[in-house]
């Protein structure tokens, strides 16, 4: 692929250069004769990279799978354009159960305990929290290891069993609707309103690499955002710019935000 290094340099600017390199390696294996190749689990930023690769390698198709409709973390497949077989994404679901009377466990508790087993983050997808349990999307090759070794979360005993993908319950997210006005569509202006943070603190978070726009690290406080963009702040969740609602007589811009709690 003649533009390989150019494409990698482009994504290096947003902190995704190594991911782009790995994905290009898989895509080039398909060009060389493999019917398809599948990535590890990744954030939706992976779809942006996949689309850029596909634009340079039109002999490929791209598909994705996260275990259920609306999944955030996905596995992406590069597929030879004329391949008519079934793509095995290697995705499996597990049900994790515990007694909720002992302690209110959080997503962070589950994630931390899984990684404490030595499992890399790219080997599992979404963690869907429920009352007294969670549903976990995992690389099928890791499922048995998780079932055998994942026995406690923060000193609370847990049990793990297989769960058919058809029985996954989509995660329930609390949504806070925010209608406000901003002086401009700069990232720091919009995000500080959406996350209820001072602009100074928001700028510090951006400079520390804690803010992403469409799952890619923010370029800076002055980055322009637009309708449909997803802004996430580590530790505070994410929000979507649902609509730009117009400009007031004083020149302020109306925005309608949805913050996912």
Residue 16 scores a pLDDT above 90: no
The encoded tokens of residue 209 equal 């690499």
Of 138, 167, 196, which marks where a domain is finished?
167
Residue 70 scores a pLDDT above 90: no
Given a contact cutoff of 8 angstroms between Cβ atoms, the answer to whether 145 and 85 are in contact is no
Give the 3-state DSSP-derived string for 82-94, with helices as H, strands as E and coil as C.
CCCCCCCCCEEEE
Number of structural domains the chain divides into: 3
Quote the CA–CA distance of 39 and 139 in Å, as a whole number. Answer: 11
| pLDDT tens digits along 228-254 | 999 999 888 899 999 999 999 999 999
Asked, for residue 235, whether it belongs to a domain, the answer is yes
Task: Please tell me whether residues 179 and 254 are part of one structural domain.
Answer: yes
Which secondary structure element, helix H or strand E, spans residue 27, and what is its range?
Answer: helix 17-31
Structural domain of 68:
4-80
Asked, for residue 117, whether it belongs to a domain, the answer is yes
Residue 205 scores a pLDDT above 90: yes
Residue 15 scores a pLDDT above 80: no
Quote the CA–CA distance of 253 and 193 in Å, as a whole number. Answer: 12
Task: Please tell me whether residues 160 and 227 are part of one structural domain.
Answer: no
- Mean pLDDT for 22-37 is 95
The enclosing domain of 71 has a CATH number of 3.30.1370
Task: Please tell me whether residues 17 and 74 are part of one structural domain.
Answer: yes
Residue 172 scores a pLDDT above 80: no
Task: Please tell me whether residues 22 and 64 are part of one structural domain.
Answer: yes
Task: Please tell me whether residues 8 and 48 are part of one structural domain.
Answer: yes
The enclosing domain of 226 has a CATH number of 3.10.290.10
The enclosing domain of 136 has a CATH number of 3.30.70.330
Of 80, 115, 143, which marks where a domain is finished?
80
Of 80, 102, 133, which marks where a domain is finished?
80
Confidence of residue 171 (pLDDT cuts 50, 70, 90): confident
Asked, for residue 20, whether it belongs to a domain, the answer is yes
Asked, for residue 194, whether it belongs to a domain, the answer is yes
Asked, for residue 85, whether it belongs to a domain, the answer is no
| pLDDT tens digits along 75-126 | 999 999 999 999 999 999 999 999 888 668 888 899 999 999 999 999 999 9
Asked, for residue 86, whether it belongs to a domain, the answer is no
| Summary mean pLDDT of the chain | 92
Task: Please tell me whether residues 226 and 161 are part of one structural domain.
Answer: no
- Mean pLDDT for 140-159 is 94
Residue 200 scores a pLDDT above 90: yes
Whole-model pTM: value is 0.77
Confidence of residue 2 (pLDDT cuts 50, 70, 90): low
């Amino acid at each position: 692929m003649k533009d390989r290094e150019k494409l990698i340099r482009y994504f290096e600017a947003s902190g995704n250069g190594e991911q782009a390199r790995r994905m290009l390696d898989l895509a080039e294996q398909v060009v060389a004769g493999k019917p398809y190749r599948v990535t590890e689990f990744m954030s939706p930023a992976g779809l942006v990279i996949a689309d850029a690769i596909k634009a340079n390698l039109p002999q490929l198709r791209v598909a994705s799978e996260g275990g259920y409709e609306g999944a955030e973390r996905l596995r992406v497949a590069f597929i030879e354009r004329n391949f008519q077989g079934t793509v095995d994404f290697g995705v499996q679901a597990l049900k994790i159960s515990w007694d909720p009377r002992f302690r209110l466990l959080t997503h962070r508790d589950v994630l931390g305990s899984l990684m404490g087993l030595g499992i890399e983050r790219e080997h599992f997808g979404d963690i869907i929290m429920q009352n007294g349990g969670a549903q976990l999307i995992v690389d099928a090759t890791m499922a048995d290891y998780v079932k055998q070794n994942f026995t406690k979360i923060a000193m609370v005993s847990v049990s793990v069993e297989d769960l058919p993908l058809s029985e996954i319950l989509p995660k329930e997210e609390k949504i806070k609707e925010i209608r406000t006005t901003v002086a401009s569509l700069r990232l720091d202006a919009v995000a500080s309103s959406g996350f209820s943070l001072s602009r100074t603190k928001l700028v510090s978070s951006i400079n520390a690499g804690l803010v992403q726009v469409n799952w890619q690290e923010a370029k800076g406080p002055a980055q322009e955002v637009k309708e449909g963009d997803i802004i996430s702040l580590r530790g505070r969740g994410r929000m979507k710019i649902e609509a730009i609602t117009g400009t007031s007589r004083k020149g302020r811009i109306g925005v309608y935000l949805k913050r996912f709690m």
